[in-house]
Amino acid sequence: MASLRAKIRHVIGDQRIIRVQRFVAPAARRNLSLLARVYDTDKQRGHGYTTLYERHLAAFRDRPVNLLEIGIGGYDSVTWGGSSLRTWRDYFQFGEIHGLDIAEKRIDEPRIHVHRGDQSDQVYLRELGRRHGPFDVVIDDGSHVNAHIRTSFEALFVDHVRPSGFYVIEDMSTAYLDEYGGGPPGHPGTSMRLVQDLCDDVNRRHWAGPAGRAARPVRAVHVYEKIAFVQRGDVEVCAVPAIQ
């Protein structure tokens, strides 16, 4: 199916397809799943994530959201990719949408800003956050390499995500795949181990010992099949005595 889509795209041309999508998209703007189908992003077609995105992000829909997505896609052409960026641009009608990719991408459209960089480079990510953040939403749909996921999270979450904003990690099944630096459940250094630690951070402030102060300001963690939504809280300033 993917190869058939590629053949059709090469025959019709990238820009013609995008123009048709943008013509149809306004009718679907209030329904994220339908909008994702218009732009042919795998957030709906391949994974069915859009229902979960609507559950957690619908409150942001009419706000001037600042969103960063890691991973643009469309690697057989510098002018292709960005399906989910267009989806977010239309869903968040007042938002500014940033896309980061290690490959060169040429997407020149209103309210979409493309950055070329490596998600495993913390120095680059922190500078990106300083220049274009803070972000209300960060989505990691990049390499899916577990070390890269953790590096990106540590670089962006605390300093460059607004309180009450969300950091989303997609395709977390790679936590169990050797080729992505994963392993069996409990394997160290994976995205799933990161999420498990973040669950501790939600309530760590209630422990009166040396670890009573939360390392990261996490308000909530929502985990589903292959995807996790981490909501940022306010920075903790002191430990709270444990309840006896």
| Catalytic residue (one of 47, 98, 132, 144) | 144
Query: Among residues 190, 146, 204, 165, which one has the least CA distance to residue 66?
Result: 165
End-to-end alpha carbon distance in the chain: 59
Phi, psi angles (nearest 5°) of residue 147: -65, -35
Positions of E strands within the chain: 66-70, 96-101, 112-116, 135-140, 161-169, 218-224, 227-232
- Among candidates 74, 69, 84, which has minimal Cα distance to 106? 74
Catalytic: 144? yes
Cα torsion angle, 106, 169, 226, 190, sign? positive
Can you tell me the distance from the alpha carbon of 25 to that of 168, in angstroms, rounded to the nearest whole number?
24
Residues 6+ apart with CB under 8 A from 106: 78, 79, 114
C-alpha span between 16 and 86 (Å, rounded): 15
Catalytic residues: 144
